Amino acid sequence: MSLYGALFSGVSGLTAQSSAMGAISDNITNVSTIGYKNTSVDFQTLVTKQTSTTFYSAGGVQSRPRGANDVQGLLQASTSQTDISISGSGYFVVNEASRPTISNQYLFTRAGSFYQDNEGFLYNTAGFYLQGWPVDAQGNVIPANDALTIANQNIISTDYLETVNLSRVGGTASATTNISIGANLPSNDAVGDTHRTDVQFFDTLGNANTISFVYTKAAANEWDLSIEPPTGTNVLTLYDGNGDVYSSTGQLEFTTQPATTDTVTINGTVYDFGSGAGAVTVALGTTAAATVSALAAAIAANDAAFGTGTTSNTVAVSAGSSTTLVFGNLFGGGGDFTVDPSGFASGAVTQATAFTVQDRAVANADRAIEFDSDGLPSAFNVAEIEILGFANGAADMDNATANSPRMDIDFGNVGEANGMTQFGAEFSPTFIQQNGSRFGTFAGVSIDVDGLMTALFDNGERRPIFKIPIATFVNPNGLEGRTGNVWNSTERSGDYTLRVADNGPAGQVIQAALEASTVDIGEEFTNMIVVQRAYSASTKIISTADSMLEELMRTKR
């Protein structure tokens, strides 16, 4: 019995060492596999129950392969912006399909060599697609299923995760919300002297527009500010810091000569261009500019609310365009008035609908910028710009929920020389800064350590698009390996927990880096020598036991 036991014990040694050799061969051949975790083979005894204290029954040995999934591989730099790795614990969530259904299995991997397929989905060299949480423009996680309103960040399903797709990242534009200006206004200027700062801003469609800040000296240490509406808009209104109107300016932009059948209603009075259909007839000039000038004169002559000097409302030809009529409510007390261009059936003006120019609510004595005797600002009575009626379809800048907010004006701090000043020197603009940007196209991605993936655009804008979750397990060594350097959970590993990267036990997401295999070539070759010798020794057991059995068989003869 013991001879046969010794024979089978030797056979178990061959089997166990063969298993160890198989693990070594896999380790060596995967030495360059991204995210590969080496497998070591431990051995355990197989003991036959001993029925006698004077007789030994041989057992044998059994191999116990063990994956080192909890071992961190070295991170190696990469030149691809979509190569990612995990520094610490956890796994990326992947799926075998770019558009997963209930029949497609979610798996886990640390192989982060992702690149785009022909539809823009990110997948790795083994063909598994990276899953992520969708996010809104502020980077907050939202459900992938539009029918849901609350994101569950610990469920792996198509309701909450979707395959990361970079081809669906469209262009972006950002409206200007803040304008900062610094300049020195000469203290020795005479009353009535003016200076100008031209400023570019961007509307909600990414179009560049230009406005001019015109500073007019009203009195010692006091300056007024006027801004005409940009081309292609209806009304520009300046507000103080309390939301009261400092000034409001509207415009009519003529593109051609009006037809004799055209009319325009201004402050309730109808003006026509020869048809006699209105209360006041304006003779057509030889050019559109001449007609615009004649209309301005007719309004001033026939409506007591308009005029020059310190009257409530003004009307004049724009300083920047001889075919644009500018209406102002600069002095207060005249009330709101409306300009209705709907009677221009010929399309002679840019504006298509009526607009209202608001009455000034700020006290006339309050100037836009006031300085103290040291040349430093003592008060700013202009804080916001509202622009309405973009002909190009951009949203109004009026603080309405569905529109863009008003643009804040930053002239610096009261009592400090960090913006507007008034010293005895020439007019000198020191800086002009504004946020916002024109339309930009997708240029790449940036991935933070917390897994937030942000789209980069060639206009300098950034927009969050996905957040990459990290799955952690109580016993990662209990995961079951699958072809393609992926794993699935088992009873031994425990259930997954989805986490935000760089939080709790979840590791950091590192962009432009890949995790190297944990295989140590030197250690594997050393183990191979040991396995080879152990295998040879096991064969000696078999051959020796066989010889002893042969001797036993001879006794029968």
| Same domain? 166 vs 31 | no
492 φ/ψ angles, rounded to the nearest 5 degrees: -70, -35
Same-domain status, 54 and 118: no
Q: How far apart are CA 330 and CA 194, in angstroms?
A: 16
Distances (CA, A) of 52 to 4, 48, 55, 58, 527: 17, 11, 5, 13, 37
C-alpha span between 19 and 4 (Å, rounded): 23
DSSP annotation of 144 reads S
Residues 529 and 408 grouped into a single domain: no
Same domain, yes or no: 60 and 128? no
Structural domain contains residue 538: yes
Cα separation, 121 vs 427, whole angstroms: 56
Of 330 and 513, more confident? 513
Q: Is 541 contained in some domain?
A: yes
pLDDT digits (tens, 9 = 90+) for 404-430: 999 999 999 999 999 999 999 899 999
In a domain, 432, yes or no: no
530 and 511 share one domain: no
How far is it, in rounded angstroms, from Cα 215 to Cα 321? 19
The answer to whether residues 445 and 456 touch, using CB atoms and an 8 Å cutoff, is: yes
How far apart CA 505 and CA 329 sit, in angstroms, is 63
User: Of all residues in the chain, what percent carry a pLDDT higher than 90?
Assistant: 66
Query: How many angstroms separate the CA atoms of 318 and 296, rounded?
Result: 10
Name, in order, each residue with C-beta under 8 angstroms of 20's C-beta and a sequence gap of 6 or more: 41, 43, 63, 527, 531, 534
> Are the C-beta atoms of 246 and 239 separated by less than 8 Å?
yes
The C-alpha atoms of residue 323 and residue 308 are separated, in whole angstroms, by 20
Q: Is 470 inside any structural domain?
A: yes
Q: What are phi and psi of 527, to 5 degrees?
A: -65, -35
Give tens-digit pLDDT for 215-270.
999 999 999 999 999 999 999 999 999 999 999 999 999 999 999 999 999 999 99
Indicate whether 508 and 524 sit together in one domain: no
Is 435 inside any structural domain?
no
pLDDT given for residue 310 in this prediction: 54
Contacts of 426 (CB under 8 A, 6+ apart): 184, 186
**Residue 125, H or E segment:** none
pTM: 0.72
Total domain count, the chain: 3
Cα separation values, 27 from 68, 371, 388, Å: 11, 77, 68
- Token pair listed for 326: 């500018």
Distance CA 193, CA 205 (A): 36
Mean pLDDT, residues 502-525: 91
* Amino acid 540: pLDDT: 83
Say whether both 120 and 247 belong to one domain: no
Considering only 51-65, 101-115, 135-149, 171-185, which range has the smallest mean pLDDT? 51-65
d(CA 225, CA 328): 13
Q: In angstroms, rounded to a whole number, what is the distance separating the alpha carbons of residues 147 and 222?
A: 58
As a three-state string, the secondary structure of 402-445 is CCECCEEEECCCCCCCCCEECCCCCCEEEEEEECCEEEECEEEE
Tokens read off for 265: 């209603």
Task: Classify residue 458: in a domain, yes or no.
Answer: yes
* Residue 167, token pair as written in the block: 């081809």
Per-residue pLDDT tens digits for 277-298: 889 999 999 999 999 999 999 9
Contact 414, 406 (CB under 8 A): no
- Taking the C-alpha atoms of residue 233 and residue 227, their distance in angstroms, rounded to an integer, is 13
Single-letter amino acid, residue 479: L
Residue type, 512: A
| Beta-strand relationship, 407-410 and 178-184 | parallel
The candidate with the shortest Cα–Cα distance to 206, out of 459, 433, 465, is 459
CA distance 164 to 112: 13
Min mean pLDDT across 51-55, 177-181, 326-330, 504-508 is at 51-55
**Mean predicted lDDT score pLDDT of the chain:** 90
In a domain, 147, yes or no: yes
> Do 166 and 198 share a structural domain?
no
- Among 424, 459, 474, the domain-final residue is 424
Tokens for 379, please give them: 């008060």
pLDDT category at 61 given cuts 50, 70, 90 is: confident
Same domain, 63 and 86: no
Sign for the CA dihedral angle at 161, 166, 168, 173 comes to positive
Max CA pair span of the chain: 145
Rounded CA-CA distance 59/57 in Å is 7
**Domain termination residue (choose one: 424, 450, 476):** 424
How would you classify the pairing of strands 420-421 and 178-184? parallel
Dist. CA 24–CA 38, nearest whole Å: 9
Pair (406, 271) in one structural domain: yes
pLDDT of 1 over the 70 cut: no
Q: Is residue 437 part of a domain?
A: no
Same domain, 102 and 166: yes
- DSSP labels for 364-411? TT--SEEE-TTSSEEEE---EEEEE--TTSPPPBS--TTSBPPEEEE-
Q: Is the pLDDT of residue 22 over 90?
A: no
Residue that finishes a domain, picked among 398, 424, 450:
424
Q: What is the SS3 assignment for 460-488?
A: CCEEEEEECEEEECCCHHHCEEECCCEEE
Q: What is the pLDDT of residues 358-385, one digit of tens each?
A: 998 888 888 999 999 999 999 999 999 9
421 CB neighbour count, 10 Å cutoff: 22
Three-state DSSP at 87 gives: strand
Q: What is the pLDDT of residue 50?
A: 64
Q: Which of 41-45, 360-364, 390-394 has the lowest mean pLDDT?
A: 41-45
Supply the range of the domain harboring residue 59: 2-68+519-556
pLDDT digits (tens, 9 = 90+) for 79-113: 999 999 999 999 999 999 999 998 899 999 999 99
The strand pairing partners of 389, in sequence order, are: none
**What whole-number distance in Å separates Cα of residue 155 and Cα of residue 93?**
11
| Sequence-ordered list of residues with C-beta below 8 angstroms from that of 529, at least 6 positions apart, any chain | none
Residues 9 and 42 reside in one and the same domain: yes
Cα-only R_g, the chain: 40
Q: How many CB atoms lie within 10 A of CB 129?
A: 23
